[in-house]
Amino acid sequence: MRVLMIFVLLILTAAPASAHTPPETITGRSTALHPEGITWDPLRRTFLLTSIRHGTVEVVRPGGATKTLISDPRMVSTFGVHVIRDRVYVAYGDMGVGSRSTADTTYKASGLGVFDLATGRPLHVVDLAIGPGRHSANDVAVDHAGNAYVTDPATDALYRVDRRGHATVLARDPRLGSTTIGLNGIVWHPNGFVLAVRYDTGALFKVTRGGRVSEITLDRPLVGGDGMDLRPDGSLAVVTNSLGAPGEAAVSVLRSNDDWRTARTTHRAAPWADDEPTTIARSPHGSYVVDGNLGPLVTGAGMSDVYTVRRFSETSAH
C-alpha cells in the first residue's frame, strides 16, 4: 500500500518544476493554524507547516490553504519540522495554548514524532519529558544516520533519538537552560556536531556527538534566536524575533572559518518584512521564512487565520 501511495504521489508531482515554483510571498489562510515550523516537502513539491494551536502538520496548497497530513493525539502543539528522505520529524510540546491543552499536558507533553512522508503514518512517537521540571520540545535536527537531536527551551538538556526511537540525554549543561526560553533552533553540521541557539541570550553553542558543549564566540548575540538553516555554502541563516525576548525580527547570515569556534555576521535582513518570523526552510527555489502570527495566540489576545511564508534573499534584504 505504501509503495502504491508513493507511486501515485510521484505521478501527481511529475509536472514541470516551474509549475510548482512557490511565489516570493505566500499569504495563506487556515483556521487558527499559527504555524511555528516550516520545511520543504520534496514529494509534493510544497511546504509543510506545523501548528501550535492544533498540533498537526499541514501541507500548503496552491493559494495558501492547507490540508492535514499528520494528526496524532499525543502531539498538543507542533513546532520544528524536517523532512529527511522518506520521514517527517516533528518536535512537539505544549505551552498551554493548544486546542487540546490541559493542566496534565501543559509543559509536560513533550517529545519527537517520526512519521512516514507519503502517508503520515506514525513510525515513532517518543516521549522526551525526561527528568523533573517543565518540558516542551521545540526543534529537531537529523544527522546522516537518521539520529535526531531535539532541543527543549524549558530545560537545560539536549536529547538524542536514534533511528529506532530510543531516546537519551546527549548533553545537560546549565548554559543551555533558562528561566524563560532557553535552547531553541538547531541544525546538524556534517563535521559531526550540532549548532543550537539559546533564545533569551542569543548565545550559539556547538555540541559534539559525544555531548561536549562549547559556546561559539560571536560578533553580535542572536537574541530572540529561533529557527536556523545550515546552507550548502557552509553559512548559517538564523531567524530572530521579539516574541519572548528583546530581539529583532530579522534574518542573519553567519560564517565561520575555524569549524565554529567563532563566527561573524556577514549579512543581516533587518527589520524583516513580517513582524514575527520564527523558522526558515530551504527549498529548491530558495529559502523561505514563516510568520505564523503567534503574538496574539501566546499573549492570550486571540487567534488568527493568516500566516505568511516569504522568500529570503540576501540581495533583497535591508
Model confidence over 280-290: pLDDT tens digits? 999 999 999 99
Query: Residue 122 above 80 pLDDT?
Result: yes
* C-alpha cell read off for 144: 546522516
Per-residue pLDDT at 314: 81
> Which band of pLDDT confidence, cut at 50, 70 and 90, is reported for residue 21?
confident
More confident site: 20 or 291: 291
Q: Pick 33-311's CATH classification: 2.120.10.30, 3.40.50.170, 1.10.1200.10, 3.60.20.10.
A: 2.120.10.30
| Strands laid side by side in the 306-312 sheet | 25-29, 306-312, 286-291, 277-283
3-state secondary structure (DSSP) of residue 229 = strand
Is 220 in contact with 198 (CB distance < 8 Å)?
no
**What pLDDT score was predicted for residue 16?**
44
In this predicted structure, the answer to whether residue 316 has a pLDDT above a threshold of 70 is no
Whole-number Å distance between alpha carbons of 293 and 189:
30
CA-closest candidate to residue 260, choices 288, 277, 238: 238
pLDDT digits (tens, 9 = 90+) for 150-209: 999 999 999 999 999 999 999 999 999 999 999 999 999 999 999 999 999 999 999 999
Strand partners for 62: none
Torsion of CA 95, 98, 104, 109, to 10 degrees: -60
pLDDT of residue 8: 42
> Confidence band (pLDDT; 50, 70, 90) for 92?
very high
Q: What percentage of the chain reaches a pLDDT higher than 70?
A: 93
The model carries a pTM of 0.93
Q: How much of the chain exceeds pLDDT 90, in percent?
A: 91
pLDDT at 113 over 70: yes
